[in-house]
Structure 1
Amino acid sequence: MATAAPQRPIKIAGMLQEADIEQAVDLQARSYALLKWMAEGIRRGFIGFDAAHAYAHDAQAAAAWIERHYADLPPPARPPREHLAAFCRLFTTYLDGGQRLVRDPGQRLYSPDAHCFCEMCSWYIHKASLTARTISSGDRRRADRQMRHSLDELALEHDRLLEDGDVDRLMRDPAFRQALELYAYTETLLRRLRGGGAEIGVPLALWRRFAWTEQGAPKRKFRLSVESILDASALLRQRLAALS
């Protein structure tokens, strides 16, 4: 469920152990895989749109549906039973976070490698039933606010109140900025797993900042990993400690 204002972030390093981050990364991959599989089910007709939409919005309904069809789910989209509740809390935040299920997506003209769209070289295929909303200026502002909130909380661990000038100097470093984007996203991920929700559009807006290229396409080899999150946390703490 979307919230009106950022909540106090959950600390990534220190209070949480590496195992907590491993669980979060695993459940993020599995829950998004399930959302994509559900969207494919809508397109192919073996999952009704209204039912899918209901499961994707209600954690209890999602849990009951998963339990009924557990053996039928693809292994990459199947949650460990001991983490089913957290999985469903996360799964039901995607539509508020920026994803959209489409009832009737229609078709589009397709050509391999988009090399030619004549009648001989192209044909119509079904569009995807899962799409992402366009990132709005409001989404970007909320993502910026979440990043600043995360940075301020980290700074407090070093007994430092950041001035705007401090933040400007830190953010001029691309490595620092990307680390903060990943750190802030991870905080929203952990909050969603615990049932705290996220501001509308913020998870997707943050994700696109570090998982997509500047040209607006997904990075082909990017995978969210425990190592990258821990490295980001370490870099942020190192730079903040240097300010003290």
Structure 2
Amino acid sequence: MSLRSPRAATLAAMLQREDIENAVELQTRSYALLRWLAQAVQRGVIGFDAAHAYARDPAAAEAWTQRHRSELPPDALPPQHDTAGFFRLFVGYLDDGHRLVREPGQRLYSPGAHCFCEMCSWFINGPSLRSRPLTAGDQRRADRQMRTSLDELALDCGRLLDEDQVGALMRQPELREAAALYAYAETLLRRLRGGGCETGVPTALWRRFAWTAQGAPKRKFRLHAGAVMAAQALLVERLDALPAPG
């Protein structure tokens, strides 16, 4: 069913590159601050309870960041144009499966993981920032978010997808990855603007494009606005190519 022209003048749900560039910058910076905070706990610079409180309260996090601005790395500082959005993302990580660990213990370390014999490896403190394993519920919620985002994009392209069409699109590996990236970007914008999201959804979506099929992070992966826009363009192209109903 065609609801309106595929190239209508107003495409309300289409992601705009400027918005995505801003969101990606804030996501990168806010996560860098969280990692720095976890490392500060590990070094004994900040107490665990204080760090946990900062990571939960936007106002406390902002006040603490302003007091210690000169000590923080430049890539972990909030930009002046959207401090509120930065701290919304920052405090959301602990609700999305990340956690600060009070006693991380130790782990065996080898430079480049090249050899773990007694000569080439040693024990170091484990990471104070960890993420919990994804559950089946997280995966179902991520699937639901992908379907919702795809439906909304289809409506913007003048189409109403039926269940079989959505399922067929999501079963194609290339489109599934693009749909996950598109849905993640939508979720990121929503969180940035003060909206919520279901627990585990951002992390589950992230692992569908930033991790390998074997379940490991892609080496040197970084999120870029260009990749998000390319994913949107691919989805629009495939939606436009669907046969007209009836």
Specify the alignment match of 2:138 in structure 1.
Answer: 139
Offset of residue 221 of structure 1: 2.8
Q: What residue identity is the alignment partner of 1:222? A: F
Cα distance in 2, alignment partners of residues 184 and 92 from structure 1: 21
Bigger drift between 89-98 and 166-175 goes to 166-175
Q: What residue identity is the alignment partner of 2:124? A: I
Structure 2 unaligned blocks of 5 or more = 1-11
Cα distance in 2, alignment partners of residues 12 and 33 from structure 1: 28
Cα distance in 1, alignment partners of residues 222 and 120 from structure 2: 34
Determine what percentage of the aligned residue pairs are the same residue: 62
Specify the alignment match of 1:6 in structure 2.
Answer: none
Specify the alignment match of 1:73 in structure 2.
Answer: 72
Task: Encode CA deviations 1:67-96: one digit per residue, 9 max, x unaligned.
Answer: 111222100101112211110011110011
Specify the alignment match of 1:7 in structure 2.
Answer: none
Cα distance in 1, alignment partners of residues 128 and 209 from structure 2: 25
Specify the alignment match of 2:239 in structure 1.
Answer: 240
Matched, 1:220 2:219: yes
Cα distance in 2, alignment partners of residues 220 and 30 from structure 1: 19
Offset of residue 58 of structure 1: 1.1
Cα distance in 2, alignment partners of residues 81 and 109 from structure 1: 41
After TM superposition, which residue ranges in structure 1, 4 or more long, deviate above 4 angstroms?
none
Cα distance in 1, alignment partners of residues 89 and 14 from structure 2: 17
Matched, 1:153 2:155: no
Cα distance in 2, alignment partners of residues 169 and 124 from structure 1: 48
Specify the alignment match of 1:3 in structure 2.
Answer: none
C-alpha contact (below 8 Å) 1:98/1:203 kept by paired residues? no
Specify the alignment match of 1:168 in structure 2.
Answer: 167
Specify the alignment match of 2:90 in structure 1.
Answer: 91
Specify the alignment match of 1:11 in structure 2.
Answer: 13
What is the aligned residue count? 231
Offset of residue 41 of structure 1: 0.3
Bigger drift between 189-198 and 35-44 goes to 189-198
Q: Name the SS for the 2:124 alignment partner.
A: strand
Offset of residue 154 of structure 1: 1.1
TM-score (norm 2): 0.89
Q: Name the SS for the 2:108 alignment partner.
A: strand
Q: What residue identity is the alignment partner of 1:51? A: A
| CA RMSD, 1 decimal | 1.5
Cα distance in 1, alignment partners of residues 38 and 121 from structure 2: 25
Offset of residue 114 of structure 1: 5.1
Cα distance in 1, alignment partners of residues 76 and 138 from structure 2: 28
TM-score (norm 1): 0.90
Q: Name the SS for the 2:130 alignment partner.
A: strand
Q: Name the SS for the 1:125 alignment partner.
A: strand
Cα distance in 2, alignment partners of residues 199 and 126 from structure 1: 32
Task: Encode CA deviations 1:98-147: one digit per residue, 9 max, x unaligned.
Answer: 211101101122234252333x3332110000011101101000000100
Specify the alignment match of 1:62 in structure 2.
Answer: 61
C-alpha contact (below 8 Å) 1:35/1:91 kept by paired residues? yes
C-alpha contact (below 8 Å) 2:110/2:122 kept by paired residues? yes
Offset of residue 169 of structure 1: 2.0
Cα distance in 2, alignment partners of residues 12 and 30 from structure 1: 25
Q: Name the SS for the 2:107 alignment partner.
A: strand
Matched, 1:198 2:200: no
Task: Encode CA deviations 1:177-210: one digit per residue, 9 max, x unaligned.
Answer: 1110000001111111111122111111110110
